[in-house]
């Protein structure tokens, strides 16, 4: 079945450092890929998405490129801020399924802490 | 901005007790979901719901679990007889449509602790 693997955490960085969070996936067909973020005390929010190979999703300075050849969707940000401290989840949704069967498959999530 | 709301934010219960977790999805959404995350583990799909019936459920969603949309606004998850291993954060989500590209909107989660 479909699966998502994220790098082990937690990750602690200093403000303005470069961030990479690795995500790889296994899926049949051509899934859509997502990064969700959960800030402390809040729900899961969509951060960015990409729906086909070589698409780049971007939002709030974060970027991720859909790499079909390496089945990856790594999240990057050039200069993190304290306000980026959160839990980040990589996820996929397989459009091969119709109806409400197109559920999200999540990775384990990784906690990012950014020090001032 | 419309949001998915969940209650309670935290519930502590004794093993064997029934628990109902409540969710109010975004009003014009048609598809509803429950996910859960056991501490330190992946966010796992439990069930999806559309047109007043279950569309898909995972292996986790056994006979102890049920979902209901009793009044057109609430979407509930019931656990009939809780077990220790049901302790987790439960997330409700809703979406306008299906397909592989649509966004799911999540609530803040309900933390269930079973003693």
- Taking the CA of residue B98 and the nearest CA in chain A, the distance in Å comes to 6
* A104's tokens: 């999200």
Per-residue model confidence (pLDDT) at position A100: 46
More confident residue, A101 or A68: A68
- Contact assignment for A102 to B98 by CB distance below 8 Å: yes
Across all residues in chain A, what is the average pLDDT? Answer: 91
**What is the spatial distance between Cα A101 and Cα B33, in angstroms, rounded to a whole number?**
10
Task: Name which of A87, A91, A100, A108 to mutate to probe chain B: the one with the most chain B Cβ atoms within 10 A of its Cβ.
Answer: A100
**Do the beta carbons of residue A63 and residue A18 sit within 8 Å?**
no
**What is the spatial distance between Cα B100 and Cα B33, in angstroms, rounded to a whole number?**
15
Residues A89-114, mean pLDDT to the nearest whole number: 81
Task: Answer yes or no: is pLDDT of A13 > 90.
Answer: yes
- Taking the CA of residue B104 and the nearest CA in chain A, the distance in Å comes to 8
Residue B66's Cβ-count burial label (10 Å; 0-12, 13-18, 19+) is: middle
Residues 6-45 of B with CB under 8 A from A: 6, 31, 33, 35, 37, 41-45
Look at residues A40, A29, A47 and name the one whose alpha carbon lies nearest to residue A90: A47
- Contact assignment for A100 to B41 by CB distance below 8 Å: no
Q: Where is mean pLDDT largest: B12-16, B51-55, B97-101?
A: B12-16
Per-residue model confidence (pLDDT) at position B99: 58
Question: B107 touching A, CB under 8 A?
Answer: yes
% of chain A surpassing 90 pLDDT: 70
Task: Answer yes or no: is pLDDT of A98 > 80.
Answer: no
Q: Where are the alpha helices (DSSP H) in A19-97?
A: none
**What is the spatial distance between Cα B18 and Cα A50, in angstroms, rounded to a whole number?**
40
For B77-107, write each residue's pLDDT tens digit: 999 999 999 999 999 999 887 655 567 899 9
**What is the spatial distance between Cα B25 and Cα B71, in angstroms, rounded to a whole number?**
12
Per-residue pLDDT band for B40 (boundaries 50, 70, 90) equals confident
The residues facing B1 across adjacent strands are: none
Task: Answer yes or no: is pLDDT of B76 > 60.
Answer: yes
Peptide bond into A68 cis (omega under 30): no
Task: Answer yes or no: is pLDDT of B16 > 60.
Answer: yes
Per-residue pLDDT band for A2 (boundaries 50, 70, 90) equals confident
Q: Which residues of A touch B38 (CB under 8 A)?
A: none
The residues facing B43 across adjacent strands are: B37
Q: Which residues of A touch B45 (CB under 8 A)?
A: 103-105
């Amino acid at each position: 079945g479909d699966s998502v693997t994220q790098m082990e955490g937690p990750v602690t960085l200093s403000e303005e450092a470069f961030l990479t969070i690795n995500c790889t996936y296994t899926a049949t067909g051509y899934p859509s890929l997502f990064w969700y973020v959960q800030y402390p005390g809040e729900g899961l929010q969509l951060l960015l998405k990409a729906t086909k190979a070589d698409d780049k999703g971007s939002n709030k300075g974060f970027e991720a490129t859909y790499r079909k050849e390496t089945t990856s969707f790594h999240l990057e940000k050039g200069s993190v801020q304290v306000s980026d401290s959160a839990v980040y989840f990589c996820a996929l949704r397989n459009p091969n399924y119709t109806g409400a069967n197109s559920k999200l498959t999540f990775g384990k999530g990784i906690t990012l802490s950014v020090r001032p | 901005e419309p949001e998915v709301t969940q209650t309670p934010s935290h519930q502590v219960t004794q093993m064997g007790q029934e628990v109902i977790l409540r969710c109010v999805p975004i009003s014009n959404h048609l598809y509803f979901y429950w996910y859960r995350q056991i501490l330190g583990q992946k966010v796992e799909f439990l069930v999806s719901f559309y047109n007043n019936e279950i569309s898909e459920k995972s292996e986790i969603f056994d006979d102890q679990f049920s979902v209901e949309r009793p009044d057109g606004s609430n979407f509930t998850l019931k656990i009939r007889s809780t077990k220790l291993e049901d302790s987790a954060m439960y997330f409700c989500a809703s979406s306008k449509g299906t397909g592989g590209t649509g966004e799911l909107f999540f609530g803040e989660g309900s933390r269930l602790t079973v003693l």
